[in-house]
Structure 1
Amino acid sequence: MWHALSLHLSEQLDIDFEIREKTAIGGGDIHDAYCISDGGEQRFFVKTNQRECLPAFEAEAEGLRQLAMSEHIHVPRVYFVGPVKDSAALVLNFLPIKSLDDTQAYLFGQQLARHHRRGEQVEYGFDDDNFIGTSEQRNSWHRKWCHFFAEQRIGWQLQLAAEKSLHLGDIDTIIHGVKAQLANHRPKPALLHGDLWSGNVGLSVNGPVLFDPACYWGDREADIAMTELFGGFPQSFYNGYQAEWPLDEGYQQRKDIYNLYHVLNHVNLFGGPYLAQAEQLLTKLTLTV
């Protein structure tokens, strides 16, 4: 595989590239990851998995390309995505990263708010379905946000759960309840990262950098809500975002609806304690009887 990948990169870089150094990188639960180089200064980050995982890599690459069009945030550059022998691979430039400090978190909040403001999209969705973790993420275009989120996000995850004999309530009733709670909220569509927890952002030599997206056009609050779900971000991040573009009234009530999506996804991926958390959220949102 590695010789074949060297040939692919040689073609992409228009140089004779031979992998001479390869170091495994820990931290991922789904894919294998490596830092490779030809012994020089240029290094690359490589994700590999079985060939069946290629659609997930292609979706990630497309998300990074879409985010890269923004002049306000920084993401890794995609050098190659495709099959390599019996495997699939995604190759990005290698960016050593560390956690955001307060100053850089404030800057990232400002950058994300500016990014969320860009674009003239009038519908919610994405050109293709993609993935959130290993779960398929449906992205059919909708003109009404309440319909998109209720059906493509909550309803889809409940259907996946039901197929695993995890029943959290009547799906149609919950979808109707989500639509009702979001019916009067008509946000400007923003290109979302889609999986914005603290493990998918860091500080590089170029400043804050985002990776592992699950992009779609939706309510910017969905990105902000997720930052509060798994450990949270430094308070300076929220201060920076609010200074640039304050959140709309009612965000505190809507964030639980948005985070229900990610909790349901964790139910489908991991089960266990997330099932109780999902039930508690559904009760809090009065979406079950």
Structure 2
Amino acid sequence: MWRAIEQNITQVIGQQFSIKHKQAVTGGDINLCYWLSDYQHNYFIKLNDKSRLQQFESEAYSLAQIKQLNAMSCPNVIATGTTLDKSYLVLEYLPFKTASAREWFNFGEQLAQMHKSSPHGQFGWQHDNYIGTTLQPNDWQSNWRTFFAEQRIGWQLQLLAEKSINLGDIKHIVDACHDILQHHQVTPCLVHGDLWQGNLGFSDDGVFIFDPASYYGDREVDIAMTELFGQLPDEFYQGYQDTYPLDNDYDKRKLVYNFYHILNHANLFGGIYIEQCKANLTRILALH
């Protein structure tokens, strides 16, 4: 397996790459992750079953789209491929460091600039992709509230129902989410789609983001996600607000946007996330 990966990297970079150092690193709950080095080049690699290649290719595509904007940094994609029984994604290796308050502020500015500089005519994406290991449908839609209520909330509720986990009448819940978003005017922009603290880091060159689940949507989904598992430092939000202030009633919409991620965690992991879904749903229905 490693020989095939060496050969792929060698072909891409145009010079011989032979693994001289290999170290397992933390990379979440889904993939096996390693730092590979020949003491000249350093790469971060994700490994999973061969059937997961499409997920890696979707991730690589999203990273390439983010990088094209020249607003936010993300790791360069080196290669995707398969071995006899594994699929893999090879990325540029970027060592982490502790960020200063100024660097968090700059991150807020850069994310705001990414959102401002990527207007699009419709909501969706060029193909379906993944949020974790869950398929994320992205059929093009001109109406944001319909897109999010149906292709995000309704989709996740249906997946739960297929596991005999029923939170209530799906149509009623979808309609409630739709109505909360009803008067919010949205310009589609490129979003990271899964922006929590575990999917960003800082190197000597500043902030970089990774593990995207990108699509063209409401920029507020990214800000909401940063608040779901513990807020980022205040300087980040100040940098964003100074550059691209959020609209009124964001706190209400945040409940709907983060409901999607809690539903996805319930689909992936069950347990406590099901109870969180019920609590979040109660708050949403109270607003309806």
Whole-Å separation in 2 of the counterparts to 1:246 and 1:196:
18
Whole-Å separation in 2 of the counterparts to 1:225 and 1:96:
27
Whole-Å separation in 2 of the counterparts to 1:151 and 1:57:
25
Whole-Å separation in 2 of the counterparts to 1:99 and 1:48:
27
Contact 1:81 1:90 in 2 (8 A): yes
Contact 1:46 1:90 in 2 (8 A): yes
What does residue 175 of structure 2 align with?
176
Aligned residues: 288
What does residue 189 of structure 2 align with?
190
Whole-Å separation in 2 of the counterparts to 1:13 and 1:84:
19
Whole-Å separation in 1 of the counterparts to 2:266 and 2:135:
14
User: What is the CA distance between 1:251 and its match in structure 2?
Assistant: 0.5
Q: Deviations over 1:54-87 (max 9, x none)?
A: 1111111111011111111100000101112321
Structure 2 counterpart of 1:18, which letter?
Answer: S
What does residue 281 of structure 1 align with?
280
Structure 2 counterpart of 1:153, which letter?
Answer: R
TM-score, scaled relative to structure 1: 0.97
- Say whether residues 1:69 and 2:68 are aligned partners: yes
Contact 2:180 2:252 in 1 (8 A): no
What does residue 241 of structure 1 align with?
240
The alignment yields a C-alpha RMSD, in angstroms, of 1.4
What does residue 232 of structure 1 align with?
231
- Say whether residues 1:16 and 2:13 are aligned partners: no
What does residue 253 of structure 1 align with?
252
Structure 2 counterpart of 1:107, which letter?
Answer: N
What does residue 86 of structure 2 align with?
87
Structure 2: any 5+ residue segments left out of the alignment?
none
Whole-Å separation in 2 of the counterparts to 1:49 and 1:193:
22
What does residue 154 of structure 2 align with?
155
Q: Secondary structure of the residue that 1:191 maps to in structure 2? A: strand
Whole-Å separation in 2 of the counterparts to 1:241 and 1:21:
39
Q: Deviations over 1:111-134 (max 9, x none)?
A: 000010012311101011111111
Write out the 4+ residue segments of structure 1 that deviate beyond 2 Å after TM superposition.
Answer: 98-101
Whole-Å separation in 2 of the counterparts to 1:172 and 1:202:
39
TM-score, scaled relative to structure 2: 0.97
User: What is the CA distance between 1:27 and its match in structure 2?
Assistant: 4.2
Contact 1:4 1:85 in 2 (8 A): no
